[in-house]
Each structure stands twice: as C-alpha cells, then as structure tokens.
Amino acid sequence: MTENPPRRQVRPVVENPDGTTSRTPIRDGRPLLNFRSPRVTQPPQHLADMTMDERITVVKEMGLPGFRAKQLSTHYFVHHTTDPEAMTDLPKDRRAELVERFFPPLLTEVHRLRTKNGDTIKFLWRLFDGALVESVLMRYRNRITLCVSSQCGCGMNCPFCATGQQGLTRNMSSAEIVEQVIRANQVIAAGELADTSGEDSDMLGNPAAAVGSEADEEQGREPTCASGAENGPGRAERVTNIVFMGMGEPLANYKRVMGAVRRFVEPAPAGLGMGARRITISTVGLVPGINKLAAEEIPVTFALSLHAPDDGLRDEMIPVNTRWKADEAIDAAYNYYRTTGRRVSIEYALIKDMNDHAWRAELLAKKLNARGRGWVHVNPIPLNPTPGSVWTASEPAVAAEFVRRLQDAGVPTTIRDTRGKDIDGACGQLAAAQ
Ligand code: SF4
C-alpha cells in the first residue's frame, strides 16, 4: 500500500565549514567520519578500569595484602563511596593513599536539570581535561534507567544530532563510563530522583515500556525490579538499566565500552552485578563492531539506530551508511540475534517529512520479515529536536500510521516516550550550550 498523494520529502542539508552546503557533512568531497579519537590523553587509572586481579596486584605493590582490593571494590561497587572516612575497615594511615591511587576524581558535576515532576535528571559532567559529557537518569514504573555517554562528542556526524555537530574530542575511559552510574546511584540514594511510580504511557496513550528494555519485558525474560529483581523491598534503590544512548558511538570506543560493560555485569564486589540484558548497546551500524559484540558471550540488549530503511536517505541521515549499507547493518543485527538468542531493537527517530512516510514503514517491515520473524522489535521515537534545527518530530497521526503499517506487517512495534523534553533531553544539547 502506498500513500496517495505522496507526502513531501525533506532531506538533510548541512552547512560545511567552508560555507558550502551538502546533504551530510563532507571534507574533501567525502562524508566526514571520524573513527579515531583525536585526543589520546586518558584520565589516571581508576579502580573501575581494572579487573579484580589487577587491583590485587596494585595493592600488593603498595605492600598490602590482596584482600584490601576486595574491600576497596566493595566500597565502590556496593556502597558507591570513595570517601576515605567511610572506609573504616581499611588501615587508617593508608586510606588516603589508597583512595588517591584507586579513585582519582573523574567527573565534576557542572550542571543538573530536573523535569518538573523530578522523575528525570540530566547531568552535565566535566572530565579531568575539561571535556564535557552528559548522562540522563530516568525513573519509570518498574525500573530506573541511566543513559550514559561513551565518547566526548562523536565522530559519526549525523546531521540531526547535537552531539554529532560537536565532532569527536576523545574516547571516554571505562571508569569514566562506570562512574556515571556510581554517581547516579549516589543521587538516587540521596532521594533526589522523585518517586513518581505512576503509569508510563507511550505517545499513543498505551502503557509503555521505555528506553532499552521493552524487549525484555515483552519477552518475559526477567521479572521487573518492582517485583524484587533489583530494587525490591529491603534493598537500596539503584540504577537497574543502562543504555548507551548518550554522547558518542559506543562501538567506535569498543575496548573501553566493553571494559565498562564487564564492570556492570561482574558480580559484586568485582563489579555492579547487573544482568547483561539490562544493558543496551546502541549503534548507528558499525558492522564489524556488531559482529564482535555478538561473539563476546555477554548477551547485552542490542539496538540498531536505523532511522531509514533505504540507502538513498540513510546515506544522508547517517553518514556511516556510506561505509556499511542499511542491509549490511540489518544483517549484522540479525546475526546478533542468531548468535546470542537476544531479540534486537531497531531504533527509528521519526522526523517530520524526512523519514516518517508510510512506504518507509512498509519497506522496513519487508526487510525485517525477509530475515525471519520474532527476532526484532521496532521502537519509533519522535525526534527530540535540537534547538534551532529545521527538523521536528512527526505529527502524532503520522507516527501512529507508521506504527500501524509495521504492526500490520507483523513486526512488534512500540512507539517510545521521549523523556526530558523540557530539559534539553536530546543528547549533546547541554554540552553544546556551554
Ligand atoms: S546520532 Fe549517535 S552516532 Fe550519530 S552523531 Fe549523534 S551520537 Fe553520534
């Protein structure tokens, strides 16, 4: 079925540094993509950068018994503290030295924004070298989700994204990624994230799951935290779900992102002891990275930010599509499902008149169904626009039609809530405003 008459097609146009305009940012006539971190300096090594064995080696080098590494890890990953005064099980005369060696300060809070009802908090952090990154903490009915950054800026240059406009400054270290979660846990423990345990609903008014974990809930794979999995009675509340949907392309910083993921899933006190399925890694389609992730045997939830099923538009919206085409990215996502057994998510930012045409929903459904049934879930998300951007979210009726076409074709589809509209919720907006 096609639309009659067809709606207009708006295409991305960006202004290049030399004053010319093009569909996507270009340099020397080629799409501008930056896979390498230009700034190589990394922060001092932190406990969260090390495996437990490495921590033991360091404490022994300091002339202390190996079990001190476990105690330090418990303070960090269980009690979420780096305060030497709280570490009463460590020798008093060595505490300051241990804290200095294992817990160099990584994130300084620069700014915090809360939604009116207080269930969403956006943080702006300054890193040791002055680089700025963001994270967003969101309370939902059954979980607390933190959206983390993995790079300072991003080299993928998607023209509709505030972070993409900043370019890539450097990769974040594993510990800088982990520390975002620890700091969020401290904020939750201090009671600063409002408890609005009302119903969440999607844009169409249906009860909805949210960022990164629809697949789990719909597959019934894991009980919700409200039923005791994470934040049940008698347990201190903490972040239950992590999504790599903040600043940066996580698969372009593969090694350090995986270091952080290991810290998230390792049982306490080596790490936070979270379930892998509660961690979502989202990519714009770096195919070799997706295949590597599939082989890791850490079955995180995988999300492909597709945003367009046709290469004509996707080449312009997601410059990395000029390297790996939409079909290659979908094949890699399907391979992830086949290797891990984990159903994957397709993220699709609905942008008015750009990619929200009903025929695109049908083309997407056709491409997904061609690989099989039951392996994928589509999450259309009305765009959270960048200030000053010419693009805006699709009309609700258009979004509803987009969803209907996918559902009619048998593709599980849930339109997602966009949190934090009143606090510059789209990633990169706070950092860009500094
Ligand atoms: S959408 Fe994602 S990959 Fe694209 S520029 Fe923004 S942060 Fe980078």
The ligand 1 site (C-beta within 6 Å) comprises 154, 156-158, 161, 163-164, 247-249, 284
Q: Are residues 142 and 34 in the same domain?
A: yes
Is 287 contained in some domain?
Answer: yes
Q: Are residues 115 and 193 in the same domain?
A: yes
Query: What are the residue ranges of helices labelled H in 44-171?
Result: 52-61, 67-73, 95-102, 162-166
Which residue is listed with tokens 């919700």?
A: 224
Is 262 contained in some domain?
Answer: yes
Reply yes or no on whether the pLDDT at 51 is more than 90.
yes
* 154 labeled part of a ligand binding site: yes
Render pLDDT for 354-390 as a digit per residue (tens, 0 to 9): 999 999 999 999 999 999 999 999 999 988 776 666 7
Which amino acid appears at position 329 of this protein? A
d(CA 334, ligand 1 centre) in Å: 22
Is 382 contained in some domain?
Answer: yes
Reply yes or no on whether the pLDDT at 290 is more than 70.
yes
Q: Which of 147, 152, 225, 427 is catalytic?
A: 427
Render pLDDT for 226-278 as a digit per residue (tens, 0 to 9): 333 456 555 679 999 999 999 999 999 999 999 999 999 999 999 999 999 99
* 249 labeled part of a ligand binding site: yes
Among protein residues, the one with the nearest Cα to ligand 1's atom 5 is 164
Tell me whether residue 427 is one of the annotated catalytic residues.
yes
Domain boundary among 76, 102, 128: 102
Reply yes or no on whether the pLDDT at 131 is more than 80.
yes
* 161 labeled part of a ligand binding site: yes
Q: Is 389 exposed, middle or buried (0-12, 13-18, 19+ CB in 10 A)?
A: middle
Residues 117, 110, 230: CA angle, nearest 5 degrees: 50
d(CA 162, ligand 1 centre) in Å: 8
Q: Which of 3, 134, 199, 297 is catalytic?
A: 134
d(CA 116, ligand 1 centre) in Å: 27
Q: How many domains does the chain have?
A: 2
Pocket test for ligand 1, best of 168, 284, 429 (most atoms within 8 A of CB): 284
Is 3 contained in some domain?
Answer: no
The CATH number that applies at residue 92 is 1.10.150
Using alpha carbons, select from 311, 299, 314 the residue that is nearest to residue 348: 314
**Domain extent at residue 53:** 47-102
Q: Are residues 74 and 178 in the same domain?
A: no
| Nearest atom, ligand 1, residue 162 CA | 6
Tell me whether residue 97 is one of the annotated catalytic residues.
no
Q: Are residues 319 and 379 in the same domain?
A: yes
Among protein residues, the one with the nearest Cα to ligand 1's atom 4 is 158
Pocket test for ligand 1, best of 14, 133, 165, 249 (most atoms within 8 A of CB): 249
Of the two residues 30 and 61, the one the predictor is more confident about is: 61
Rg (CA), the chain: 22
* 305 labeled part of a ligand binding site: yes
DSSP β-ladder status, 30-31 and 151-153: unpaired
Within its chain, how far is the Cα of 114 from the centroid? 19
pTM: 0.88
Reply yes or no on whether the pLDDT at 283 is more than 70.
yes
Q: Are residues 344 and 282 in the same domain?
A: yes
Q: Are 337 and 346 in contact (CB under 8 A)?
A: no
Is 367 contained in some domain?
Answer: yes
Q: Are residues 323 and 405 in the same domain?
A: yes
Q: Are residues 171 and 243 in the same domain?
A: yes
